[in-house]
Amino acid sequence: NLIIQIYPGKDGEFILYEDDGNTYDYLQGMYMKTGFYWDDDTATLSIRPENEINLCPGKQRKITVNLMKNNRSKSFIYEGKSREVSF
């Protein structure tokens, strides 16, 4: 499970890098990069795969997004495809 906490007030973004944590397979490109992009004006988080590798267990993972300003949360199953979460 992945929990993202958003403290609104400005736009923001980050890239989450993940590999298997056990081998050197990342040297052959076996790693997953996921982009998270917060648009403060629309209160929307866009999630996009940044490469074609999906290392989520079972090819999916539960993501919970917490908007800290008003204590709102949204949870969903991420399967490695682009997605938007609006508050």
Burial class (CB in 10 A: 0-12, 13-18, 19+), 11: exposed
Q: pLDDT per residue over 22-72, tens digit each?
A: 999 999 999 999 999 999 999 999 999 999 888 876 788 999 999 999 899
pTM for this predicted structure:
0.89
Q: For residues 31 and 1, what is the distance between their CA atoms, to the nearest angstrom?
A: 18
5: alpha, beta or left, given left = phi > 0 and alpha = psi -120 to 50?
beta
